[in-house]
Amino acid sequence: MADGRFAPSPSGDLHLGNLRTALLAWLFARSTGSRFRLRFDDLDRVRPGAAQRQRDDLAALGIDWDPPVWRQSERASAYADAITDLADRGATYECYCTRREIQQAPSAPHAPPGAYPGTCRNLSAGRRAELQADGRRPALRLRATVDEFTVIDDLRGRYTGSVDDLVLRRGDGVVAYNLAVVVDDAAQRIEQVVRGGDLLASTPRQAYLASVLGLPPLRYAHVPLVLNADGRRLAKRDGAVTLADRRARGQSPAEVRRALSHSLDLPATDTIEQLLTAFDPDKLPRSPWRYTDARTTLTPRLT
């Protein structure tokens, strides 16, 4: 048994790729008799009413969850405690770099593009005072002691990725997503995280942070993405891609769920509960699903 979760950002309506991932996360959890949690990662980019619409869409597909529903915006004290713990152990430092300076800085040896090169890691007190006098507001970074970390993915096996001095708190005082998600997954006793394959590269950083905080390791399942007709990750600009869009074209939520099931090589059952008996993670497709917008029907096309 492995408790699971779905944690969308309430920045707008869920599209078919989000709904497909939510369905998979639900299947992974419920097929083992585990709890399934819903959490809104609402530290940034919140649109009024989006969280309720997302809840309504999940429920319309038959996806249920175990209460309570969490919101990251209500968890400030837990994040502050984690930062204090790290700071007390000398595992943090202030970073005054702008985004442009980071992009233009030479990369550290063997570091992947975009990795933070450690510019502010060993700033003197005098230099910090100068930067503060210039009006710079520092972010807080983790002082990482490894360059890479390995996680186990139920669909992809062992995956080793790079680790840099990730941001824990931004310069504007907002807690960074990487810290919040790690703290919340542990607090909710999540054991398995099912999410889109585009997030696999960031997972070793989060898993490393969890290990530094002394939190239990997670299992992962990074599922293939839904792509648009051009082979890019599906977005709301790609046509009728939300449940509301599909309803406007005459499709019921049950029909949308059956199409999503078909894209996962699962039977088009009458109820979501019937999917549980057919669900086998080992038989899930390992390649993306290419969604082609049809004017009247949702046409699943596998690539």
Residue numbering of the annotated binding site for Zn(2+): 95, 97, 116, 120
User: Alpha-carbon distance 109 to 13, whole Å?
Assistant: 41
User: Are the C-beta atoms of 40 and 72 separated by less than 8 Å?
Assistant: yes
From the annotation, which residues make up the binding site for ATP?
Answer: 236
**Residue 136: both structure tokens together:** 């710079």
Task: Please name the residue ranges forming H helices in the chain.
Answer: 16-30, 50-60, 76-88, 99-104, 125-133, 177-187, 203-212, 243-248, 253-263, 272-278
Contacts of 78 (CB under 8 A, 6+ apart): 183, 184, 187
Between strands 36-40 and 70-71, the pairing is parallel
User: Alpha-carbon distance 118 to 120, whole Å?
Assistant: 6
From the annotation, which residues make up the binding site for L-glutamate?
Answer: 5-9, 41, 177, 195
From the annotation, which residues make up the binding site?
Answer: 5-9, 41, 95, 97, 116, 120, 177, 195, 236
**Residue 201: both structure tokens together:** 């590269």
Task: Please name the residue ranges forming H helices in 9-120.
Answer: 16-30, 50-60, 76-88, 99-104
User: Which residue bears the tokens 């919101």?
Assistant: 71
User: Which residue bears the tokens 């430092």?
Assistant: 93
Three-class DSSP category at 199: helix
